[in-house]
Amino acid sequence: MNRILLSLALALLSLPVFAAEPVKVSYYKDVRPIFQQHCQGCHQPAKSLGGYVMTAYPDLFKKGDSEQPGVVASKPADSLLVKLLGEVQGRARMPKGKEPLPEPQVKLITKWVEEGAIDDTPASAKAPLVDAAHPPVYEALPVVSALAFSPNGQLLAVSGYHEVILRSADGSKLVARLVGLSERVQSLAFSPDGKWLAVSGGDPGRFGEVQIWDVEKTALKISIPVSYDTVYGVSWSPDSKLVACGCADNTIRAFEALSGKQILFQGAHADWVMGTSFSQDGQHLVTVSRDRSVKLTEVPTNRFVDNVTSITPGALKGGLLAVEVRPVPPLAKDAKPKMAVVPKDTPGVPAKLYDELLVAGADGQPRLYKMHREVKRVIGDDSNKVRDYEKLPGRIYGVAFNKTGSAFVVGSSLDGVGEARVYETESGKRVATCEGVKTPVYAVTFSPDGKTVVTGGFDGIIRFNDAATGKMISEVVPVPLKK
């Protein structure tokens, strides 16, 4: 046995020794994700700052407004991209107006250029180029996940793949295609002044994004990268200056819409945040999550204020997916807005506007809540709740009030079918059930005049129904289909 072991040892010693080859930096796995998260929002076909585009590999080697190419293979010293990422007097010139990239990421990009800037993207991962010059080509209808009317009632925004479709108010005419970076569009909202359209979405498991589009020019104003997954529930402050969204990292965020500066970050939720809505005065943000809670945050201070709903386990039967603050009709001349009474045990807190909000989700039951607590919290209570409404089959994915807050529409999904209903807010009476709605409903909205309800969902068709009777008005295919 000893002789056998000695022979094996001698044989192993006689084998040639090979040094392990150094692992090369991967463009697809290492470099591309950094560009997606930090660079492509400002350097994409829809908004090519400095004339430089970074969304497609061949574009990295081109010149922008500068005479120097962004990337020169094997020559980081001659590559403008590498130079701009490096810090000068403690500050990098790119990403513009943001924190410099971490040093390990800069070294990774530099090493990739040194090694020849090779594209190792697998053939299976090379998707067709999608931009304004190469808009999506549809062989089948995409799921409609979001709808929004412009405040003046002239435009209807519909979610698509990598884009938002702008159609005329009755859906009959295609007005514009807003093609952006995000593969998936999760929510849409026009600013109250009608100048801007906010879009939230991203690429699942890779990056999130909030886009702000100039409605009149149909041009991208700014792209705001957010987190590492798609983002949800975009909403505007009443003054059209702030935009908020919910994230899959359990946070809520708000940004200055035209600069992209983050002004709110809150992590009180324990699961994905699916919807956001500002109070009437813009001082508070209400959010709903898959953690079955509705939370209230003070915008100027980022302070978590309260759980609007009960905190008792089991009080809500499923995750919450949609929220909207109830609009208030314009006040009569010299009338005072209704104010919420502040609990006696919280002296010094000013009275708040009397906000109400509609929430719904996995248990299929819409509920109306007061935003601000008026009595002392007691474990087990649900004192902010105003009323429950009739339960719908399945999960509710979309809720929307009419302009005056006197009625709302909800859409649901269960086992491959769906339903949309209109209710009176005060009485809870069902006004109408929308005819022709058979597939799962993921998006609902009222026309600004309150006469029409529009729904969209799994089959990709948008349907126009009379809000008072539920009768079908028309069905529209929102995207151009390949013949």
Q: Per-residue pLDDT for 19 more than 60?
A: no
Q: How many CB atoms lie within 10 A of CB 173?
A: 10
Written as one letter, the residue type at 338 is K
User: How high is the pLDDT of residue 428?
Assistant: 95
Q: Per-residue pLDDT for 348 more than 70?
A: no
Burial class (CB in 10 A: 0-12, 13-18, 19+), 386: middle
Domain 147-329+337-476 carries which CATH code?
Answer: 2.130.10.10
| Residue scoring higher pLDDT (66 or 13) | 66
What integer is the mean pLDDT of 132-136? 90
Residue 74's DSSP bridge partners are: none
User: How high is the pLDDT of residue 143?
Assistant: 97
User: How high is the pLDDT of residue 212?
Assistant: 97
Q: Per-residue pLDDT for 470 more than 60?
A: yes
Q: What is the largest CA-CA distance in the chain?
A: 107
What integer is the mean pLDDT of 72-100? 79
Question: How would residue 314 be classed by pLDDT, with cut points 50, 70 and 90?
Answer: low
- Alpha helix ranges (H) inside 41-172: 80-85, 103-114
Mean pLDDT of the chain: 88
Written as one letter, the residue type at 217 is K
Between 95-104, 399-408, 435-444, the lowest mean confidence (pLDDT) is in 95-104
User: How high is the pLDDT of residue 149?
Assistant: 98
Cα-Cα end-to-end distance for the chain: 77
User: How high is the pLDDT of residue 211?
Assistant: 97
What integer is the mean pLDDT of 22-33? 86
| Residue scoring higher pLDDT (149 or 90) | 149
Q: Where are the domains of the chain?
A: 27-125, 147-329+337-476
296-311, pLDDT tens digit by residue? Answer: 999 999 999 989 987 6
Alpha carbon of 275 to those of 87, 248, 249, 321: distances in Å?
38, 11, 14, 6
Q: What are phi and psi of 158, to 5 degrees?
A: -130, 135
Q: Which tokens in the block code for residue 140?
A: 């089948």
Query: Averaging pLDDT over each range in 12-21, 319-328, 341-350, which range is the top one?
Result: 319-328
pTM for the model: 0.85
In angstroms, rounded to a whole number, what is the distance separating the alpha carbons of residues 75 and 240? 46
Q: Per-residue pLDDT for 174 more than 60?
A: yes
